[in-house]
Amino acid sequence: MKHNKADDIDGWLVIDKPRGMGSTQVVGKTRYLLHANKNGHTGTLDPFATGVLPIAFGEATKLVPFVTDGEKEYEFVVEWGKATDTGDTEGKIIATSDKIPNREEILATIPHFIGKIKQIPPMYSAIKINGREAYKLARQGQTVAMPEREIEIYELELLEEYTKSAKFRVRCSKGTYVRTLGADMAKYLGSEGYLSELRRTKCGNFSLKSTILLDSLEKVEYIDKRRKLLLPIETSLRDIAEIAVSAEDARKLSMGQGLSPKSYPTVKPTELAAAMFCNCLIALVRIDERKISPVRVFHNIIKKELTDVDNK
């Protein structure tokens, strides 16, 4: 089947991002390989980092904030004794130390970095300062005060020790800079440190088990076969109520109309959000005692599915 122009396709493609490639480059590459009109990524990974990078296509882009706001998990290696201006191998060495912490010291330090902690993000980050990305200012030699932020570390464990480095696993909230975590741990230990490896193993509801390598995707000969690798848009949802609705109510939701909670007595008014289904994901809604209100509506999928319902 030939494809002369880009198509509207919907779903998730979870890429195991290779080192040395930016997240935006991966978005462009996958859009080309699947001949898609619209896609975008969740949770930027630096070119230095590898691992789970969920790419949303079509209607799935409406769920990007739900994935970005979710928990993340990483494995990373801290090299002791040196600090770089970027916090990873891409930067210049700005400080050194002869101190190489031992296992007992590392294990005693870990509890201090679990829970809600404060971080000052690195200058080489995508955080915007007065409308401009901090890393662009840094490359121009400008120094700006980065705003401190509160993040949460749910789990942090030592996986392996090497001669002058150590490997860790961390499960953390959105907004966590693992480069900063590594550097802060090193300073707490009386040393300096930077990340020599960073690999994201989970992003929201997606893990390495869901990923495909870009090289493997390119080797799939036909576009239609590549598209079969897409995961359904609802794959990204977690910890959310799922409610079946009639075709009539699905049409109402598709037009932005609310529903009466009385029609769905099992739905608790205290639910903050729910996913409404009618053979497919129709909408995400907010619920109160008076109304079920659509927050995100998946028009392209609704159109196809309701047409199929009418034809049966």
Q: Are 236 and 206 in contact (CB under 8 A)?
A: yes
**Domain assignment of residue 2, yes or no:** no
Does residue 131 sit in the same domain as residue 229?
Answer: no
**Domain assignment of residue 124, yes or no:** yes
DSSP one-letter string for 63-97: GHHHHHTS-EEEEEEEEETEEESSSBTTS-EEEE-
Tokens 């690195």 found at? 122
Task: Tell me the pLDDT of the chain (312 aa) as tens digits.
Answer: 455 678 889 999 999 999 999 999 999 999 999 999 999 998 889 899 999 999 999 999 999 988 888 899 999 999 999 999 889 998 899 999 999 999 999 999 999 999 999 998 776 656 665 565 656 655 656 667 667 889 999 999 999 999 999 999 999 999 899 999 999 999 999 999 999 999 999 999 999 999 999 999 999 999 999 999 999 998 988 778 888 888 889 888 888 898 988 887 776 665 567 888 888 888 988 888 788 888 889 887 766 665 554 444
What CATH number has the domain bearing residue 214?
3.30.2350.10
Does residue 304 sit in the same domain as residue 218?
Answer: no
Q: Are 84 and 93 in contact (CB under 8 A)?
A: yes
**Domain assignment of residue 42, yes or no:** yes
Does residue 215 sit in the same domain as residue 198?
Answer: no
Measured CA to CA, the distance from residue 145 to residue 204 in angstroms comes to 30
Measured CA to CA, the distance from residue 82 to residue 134 in angstroms comes to 23
Which of 61, 18, 66 is closest to 39 using CA atoms? 61
Read off the tokens for 290. 């008076």
Number of domains composing the chain = 3
Q: Is 10 assigned a catalytic role?
A: no
Tokens 């800079």 found at? 177
**Domain assignment of residue 223, yes or no:** yes
pTM given for the model: 0.87
Note down the domain range covering 61: 11-69+206-235
Given 7, 8, 10, 46, the catalytic residue: 46
Tokens 């609802």 found at? 234
Measured CA to CA, the distance from residue 192 to residue 189 in angstroms comes to 8
First to last CA, the chain: 27
What CATH number has the domain bearing residue 256?
2.30.130.10
